[in-house]
Structures are given as structure tokens and as C-alpha cells.
Structure 1
Amino acid sequence: MKLETVKSIILTILVLSSIYLFWNLVTYQQNYDSIDRREYVKEINIDQKKSMKELIIPNKLIFRKNETEYTGTEKNAQIGQLYRQLEGWDYYNFQKNSEEFFNRYEQPPYEDVIIFQFSDDIPFDLINSLFNIDAKTVPFGNFRYIFIFPEQLNDEEGTVFFLSSDMKSAVKAGVRYNQLQEFLTLYNEIVGESVPYYAYKKDDESYLFVLNREIEVNNSKFIPRFFDTILFKDALFPDPDFVTKTGNRYTDGSSLLDIFPDTKTLSFVNLTVQLNRMISSDDLMKKAVDYVNGHSGWTDQYLFNRYEQKENKIIFQMYLQDYPVFSHSGASEISLIIGNQGVYSYERPYFKFNISFNPTYQRYQLLSGKNVLKRLEENDSVDLNGIEDILIGYQLTFDMKEPLIILEPSWFYRTDEEWKKVGGSSLIMGGVNDGLE
């Protein structure tokens, strides 16, 4: 064989080998990039994850001393301290027993009672995620209150009652515990620091528990931290590489992400998710919490606020310290609508409180709860029997000139599916009435 022929064969082999190696390198890199992108999407962590227990806690803790003497607190630290004790108890033998409850609560000698009130109904199906349950079955339905009569707590076991929102249905459960004295000591300490409350009995015999003294609360101002909305784009779309942007809208053809700079909120809608059936409230809660945890989306203190079951909707409310924050624009809520195959819509703010900046703060004087009820009763457009809760919170607005969040304290009341501000319930020290509703 001629030398030139050998050289040609060797050269051909080298060229083919080079092509083969180059092809493998390119293919390997493409696969690597694809895997890397998928991992990147899964690992988007915007801020924090939260457990069910961290998101579902009572919003009021009420104590009754006799038939008419009520005190209480809405301080998260105090509520949390006593409620955490309940989380360590073992619950068993759930039985419907409304008669025993009403005899104890509504009839003489009017025993002392501890009342934990949640912001909305909690499904019994979720109770395993909140407490230690030593029972094969739990009742069907919901509860909004936990009633504890201290006289029913013995050395090692006792009894508690779970009450529905209308207080017509009571479920009795046995409890076991190891540190009753620690619970009772903490209970007595918090009672000693509690403030007067008023129990307003509605026509259906359920109650509104309201703070019953005038208090002074400062307004607050914050320089916010804004999260890059690209983070949400990368977290919410299955493949961000296929997403296009037009104006303030991102889309991949099947989902939409709209950004609203004026209200600092965003709205994500997955058009492939169907909304043709009712979903249980426990399924709503689990799917909603898992979804937000999927991108560590709890950017401030948020707590479960309410269900809107007709829409399969669940709402978590923003809090600042001990007060819920309300906004007309949705800038203080994380809300999700759950469909058959997952989350249909997801609406939320894309900021968090960052630096407190309030050099010229204003002090507000707020009416007592009894006077707030009187003011609402005088309003022809308000039916007290349709109100589900009344409390003090903050109204959130944005400064139009500077990047500031303004929080002004006021009373708020909740009807079926909405929180409204009580007009004239707060007075700026110096004589300017808020005059809004």
C-alpha cells in the first residue's frame, strides 16, 4: 500500500473521530444545560418557607371570669405561647356533645373559660397537621373556636371543646398532657396582663369578641424591599426559556403573569387548570401552602385569614407585629384559587417591609369596641348579625412621592367575604378624624 493511501486513511479516521467527539461534546453540553435549567427552576428561593402550624394560629385569646367579665389579648406572642402548649397535647375520643358545652357555657354557675378564636373555619381534616391526634377518626366539618374550662383539666388529662363558627355545633375531645402546671402558670400570667373585652351576642347566639377600651396606636412607615419579578417568572413558569414578555405581561402560551407596578402586586394564572368542581377546604389549604413553599414565597409575616369556598379560594393576610394589614388593592394578601389539577390563580405583593422610616409619626386614638359596635349599629348599611369579626388593623397605602409604605391604624370588620374599615373609629391626636369607610 502506498504511503499516500495510508496517510489518507489515517487522516479520514482522525477527521471522523474529531466529528464524533465534537458531536458528543455538543450533545452532552445540551443535556447538561437542560438539566441545569430544570434544577435552577426548582431551586428558586424568594424568601421563606412556612409550615401549616406557623400559618394557622388563633387571632384572639379570650378569657371569661364569670357570666359577663371578659378579658383577652390579640398579641401574637401571648397567643402563641399558650397555643403552643395545646400543640403538645394528645387529643383522643372526639364526640359531638353540644348539650354539655352549652350547659357549661350558657348556664350558671358560669365557669371560667379560655377561648381560642381562629380567623375563619378550620377543617377537622387538617387537625392532624396541627395537633397530636390519638384517634382513628375525627369528626366531619369545621371548627373556629377551642373552648377550655380549666376546671375540666385534671393532673394528667382533661377535656376541650371545638366549636363551629356559629357556635351551634360542639365537639368534645379528651386530652392528655405532661406539663399541666406549666400551662396553668402561663395562663394565669397572660390573664393578669389581659385587657377588657366585650362579648356581643348576635341574634343567632354566636358572639363577637371585641377589645373594649380606647387605645393609642402609632402609624408606621417603611421603605420596602422590592423583589425582582423575574424571580417569580422563573419560579412560576415550568420552563422560563419559553416565556415571552410584552409590556408588564409574561406568557408561555398557556399561563400569564401580570405585573402591576402601581400596586406592587402580581397575578399569575394557569389557563390549563380547570375550575369545574368544589375542592375540600383541607385540600385547598395543603395545595396552597405547598405551592407558596415551592418557591419560598412567604416574604413577610402572613397568617391564614379565610376561605371563599364558592371560588375555591384561600387567603393569607399580611401582619405587622400584632395587627393585620388591609389594602384596597390586594397589596396585603396572598390569595390562591385552586383547581382540579393545581393552582389556577395566584395573586400577591412583590415587596416586603424592610426599613422602618417614620421621623414624624402620628399617634391615633381608637374607639373602644363597644363604641365601634354602636357606630356600626347606627349605620343603616351594616347588619351586625352579618359581621364575623371586628378588630384593629392597619390600612396600607403607598406614598405617591417617595418609595414609602404608609400604615394607618383603624378598626375593621369582616362580613361574609370582605374586610371593611370602620368610618370614624380613629382620631389623629390633635383632632383630625379619619372619616373614612
Structure 2
Amino acid sequence: MRSKELIKSMILFLLVLMSVVLTYMTWNFSPDLADVDKQEHSDESKPNTIGKPLNQGMNQVITPYQVIYSKGEDTKGMEATRSNINEMTKPLKNQRVIQSEQMHSNHNLIIPDLSDDFLVLDFTYDMPLATYLGQALNINAKVPNNFKFNRLLVDRTKDGKVKLYAISKDRHNVVRMMTTAKQDKFTQKLESLRKKMQPYTEIITNKDTIDKATHIFAPSAPKNLKSYHTIYNRISVDTMNSILFNDSVVVRSSKSGTTTYNNNTGVANYNDDSEKYRYTNLSEDENRSTNMQDSIPSTYDYINNHGGFTDDYRLFSTDNKKGELTYQMFLNGRPTFNDDDLNNIKVSWGNKGVFSYARALLKANVTIDSGEDEQDLPGAESVRSELANNPNIDFEKVTNMTIGYKMENQPDKSDIEIQRNSEFKPQWYVEYNGEWLTYKDGGLE
């Protein structure tokens, strides 16, 4: 009997002891957060960028496509590499416009006080003057509201300052601006770049391009042009979805090779064959913003914040009616062209955010000389003559001529995983009736 009581006492003692130990452990419990922190860090590092953001500002993307120097009867020019543009515009940055005046002409635009020694910055699109001055050049300026331009002339004043003329796309309006920029600093930069310049030809296509300020400028004799070969890396669809969608998405596949992703705020389509991705924001209003003063800086910031300018993309066109902007790939300071839009980013802005976003999920891994023989192209005068004498072309509708690169897609079937490749070949391109077309054998296609 005694042994039974002893066993009961020992069991009771052990239970009490266990209770005390457990109570102590509960009071002094400190959870190990190592795994939690690791998981949170893993979530935070979820890929939401596709490249490195540009760190030198909007002037890397909002740029002219060519630089022309006109002095008397001598006209020279050069392609718009980022270094060329940065050097040429450096004396203009962080200055002020102290006086501006808008002028209009119903006929051919003539600028009476323009000297015979000036620089031309040509753009492929028209954009708000205030946006370019304020956000690309950081110039403090009061200029006419909503004035758009696609050509900027840089001239001098008698007191040694820089004078600017912003010319509208229709060549009937100009804003003259007196600045605080010093002419001698601008001249120094110009002299250092003149060695790179080649002879350019002045071309008249219609009654709006007969003055020196409104001529079309194009390379006189493009020679020794190289072709290039590019191999691409792929951008993950999951990465694009993480950037554009606020939360998880529903995946719907189809037999055509196109996969659809959607949630309550947006829908995206990706095609495996073309490797093109398009997103539409369902939470935005149906009407895209057509205010380029908002759309240009907003789309630039949005794309740049997630490293979307994976290659040398520049703003190339602005559709003021649809509100769509096209950022196009440049190579060695020249625009590239592709029939399948694999070389551009098309984006539009809504009231508060991105409305649509379309691009190929490709970014250049390496670009090298293709090894082909250097090529000479017909001179600007030859191209002009052939087009002017073509009965199927209304030469008055020609508004630009330039050398660009044709991007030809060449998938390598020998690889286990098909590696996307492209050849970039030099070619004449002509802006005709608002559309860029290839010049070939005296015609446009």
C-alpha cells in the first residue's frame, strides 16, 4: 500500500515539475524569426525590374535623331549617339530663358534674324517645348503653353549669348528664345565635335521647306557602313506580370500559342512565337491621355523605374490623337526599324497610371560586327532625284530622310533552345505622309 502511495506522490511531483518548466518556457519564449525574415526578404526580392534604370535623366531618351551644323554654304552633320548629344547640349543645360516670342507665318517660314552659322537638332516627333526645356535640359523657361516643336535651332546673339528657335512640325510657327547660355562655351563643344561630322545635303520637298531653317537635311554620301549581329536574352513573363499587375493573376492558355493573364485590374497577352507582350489596365478610363506634357514624363518615369529601357531606346513618335508613344531602339546613334515591332516599346498613359504597355520580351545580350563587307549607300541627292521622278510618289509628302538599320530576325534553329538573333543592316528610310518607309530601287516600301 505504501509503495502505491509513493508512486502516486512521485507521479504528482513530476507533473507539477513539468507544469513549472512549461510555464517558465512559455513566459520566456522568444520565437526564432530567422526563417520569417528570410521569407519576407524573399518576397521583397521578387523580380520587379528587367534592367538597370537610367541614372542621367530624361535627356538620354528624349533626344534628337541627328545634329546638323550649317555655316554659309557648308552643311555637315552626324548621327545622334548619346555621347554626341550630351556634349552638344551640355552648355544649354541648367540655364534660363529670359525672353520668348512666338511667330507665325501662313506661307514659307522665314526667320529674318537667323545668322548663317547655326546648329540644328532634329527630332522625329513633335513634343511640348516646355517639357523638353524643363525636363530634358533643365532650363527654366516661360514659353507659350501647348507649343509643340520637332526642330531646335541654336544661334548666337550680339552680346555673346545663345539664342534658340523652336520650329513646329508644320513649319509655320516658331518660338524665339533668348537664354543665359554662353556662346563661347557652346562654340567650344561644337568645335570638338565637328571632326566627327560628315557632309550633309539640303533638300527641298515642298513650299514649306524652301528656307534654310526648314530644309530637310540628309547625309550626302553615306560610305563604309557596317552591319551588326545581335544575340538576345529573354525577359521573363513572370517579371513583367509582377511589374504590371497589383496581385496574383489567372492564367488562361490557348492553342494558338498565346497565353492570357488577368485579374480584376488588368489583362495581358503573351505570344510564344513572336515573344511579344501586351498589357491593358482595366482600372483606367477607356480614354487614353492625349496630353503629352503629362504622358511623356509619366511614361518615361514608369518605364525607367523598372529598368524597361534595356537597350538604347529613344522616344520616336507621339500619336497626339490616340495618346500612344513609341520608344524605338537606336544602334550607334541611328534608329532601327523592324516589320514586327520587335524593336520598340509602345505605351499610353491614363488619368493616374499606365493604360497600355506593349513590347517584345527581348533585350540585347551582345552586339558585334557581323563580319560582312562595309557598305556604301546612294547619296541623298540620288535618293531625292529617284523619289521626285517616281510617278507613284507625291514628293511633297516627304518630310524626313535618314540612314537607319533594318532589323532582320534570324532565329538559330541549331540550338536546343532557339536563340533569337537579329542582323542590323544599314538602309535609307524616308518619312512619307507621316509614316517611315524603306527606300529601295527608287521607290518606298
Determine if the TM-score, normalized by the shorter chain, exceeds 0.5: yes
C-alpha distance in structure 1 between counterparts of 2:283 and 2:37, whole Å: 28
Report the RMSD for the aligned CA atoms in angstroms: 3.5
Q: How does 1:120-135 map to 2 (within 5 A)?
A: 120-126=125-131, 127-135=133-141
Does the 8 A contact of 2:47 with 2:239 survive in 1? Answer: no
1:232 deviates by 1.6
Cα deviation, residue 43, structure 1: 4.9
Normalising by structure 2, what TM-score? 0.80
Query: 1:359-374 residue pairs with structure 2 within 5 A?
Result: 360-374=371-385
Q: Structure 1 residues 377, 26: closer, same or farther in 2, change over 3 A?
A: farther
Q: CA, structure 1 residues 310+137, in 2 after alignment: closer, same or farther (shift >3 Å)? A: closer
Q: Which stretch has the larger CA shift, 409-418 or 313-322?
A: 409-418
Do structure 1's residue 49 and structure 2's residue 54 form an aligned pair? yes
Answer whether contact 2:65 2:334 (CA < 8 A) is retained.
no
Q: Determine the structure 2 residue equivalent to 1:188.
A: 191
The residue identity in structure 2 corresponding to 1:72 is G
CA distance in 2, matches of 1:362, 1:265: 32
Q: For residue 207 of structure 2, give the secondary structure of its aligned residue in structure 1.
A: coil
Deviation at residue 7 of structure 1 after TM alignment: 9.3
Structure 2: which amino acid aligns with 1:181? D
What number of residue pairs does the alignment pair up?
Answer: 416
Could you tell me the TM-score, scaled by structure 1's length? 0.81
Structure 2 CA distance for aligned equivalents of residues 17 and 35 of structure 1: 32
Query: For residue 411 of structure 1, what is the aligned residue in structure 2?
Result: 428
Q: Is the 1:303–1:317 Cα contact (8 Å) retained in structure 2?
A: yes
> Cα distance, 1:198 vs. partner?
2.0
Q: Does 1:231 align with 2:239?
A: yes
CA offset at residue 96 of structure 1? 1.4
More helix by share: 1
- Selected match of 1:166 from 153, 163, 170: 170
1:297-312 correspondence runs (5 A):
297-312=308-323
Question: Where does 1:292-371 land on structure 2 (aligned, <5 Å)?
Answer: 292-356=303-367, 360-371=371-382
The percentage of aligned residue pairs carrying the same residue is 19
Q: What amino acid is the match of 2:381?
A: K
- Structure 2, gaps ≥5 residues long: 1-8, 414-418
Q: CA deviation at 1:138?
A: 4.7
| Distance in 2 separating the partners of 1:96 and 1:52 | 26
Deviation per CA, 1:135-185, whole angstroms, max 9, x where unpaired?
Answer: 4565431122221233x2534x3422211122211111111135x423212
CA distance in 2, matches of 1:84, 1:289: 21
* Secondary structure of the corresponding residue to residue 187 of structure 1: helix
| Shift of residue 350, structure 1, vs aligned partner | 1.9
- TM-fit CA distance, 1:333: 0.6
The corresponding residue for 1:218 is 226
- Between the aligned partners of 2:198 and 2:368, the Cα distance in structure 1 is 30
Q: Structure 1 residues 9, 118: closer, same or farther in 2, change over 3 A?
A: farther
Aligned counterpart, 1:112: 117
Distance 2:124 2:244 in 1: 29
Q: 85, 104, 111: which one pairs with 1:102?
A: 111
Kept in 1, the 8 Å contact 2:104–2:172? The answer is yes
**Does structure 2 retain, via aligned residues, the 8 Å contact 1:57–1:80?**
no
3-state SS of the aligned residue for 1:104? coil
| 8 Å Cα contact 2:62/2:314 also seen in 1 | yes
Distance in 1 separating the partners of 2:370 and 2:137 = 44
User: Does the 8 A contact of 1:224 with 1:352 survive in 2?
Assistant: yes
- 2:397 corresponds, among 379, 383, 386, to 386
Q: Does 1:244 align with 2:251?
A: yes
What is the one-letter code of the residue matched to 1:275? E
What is the Cα deviation at residue 436 of structure 1? 8.0
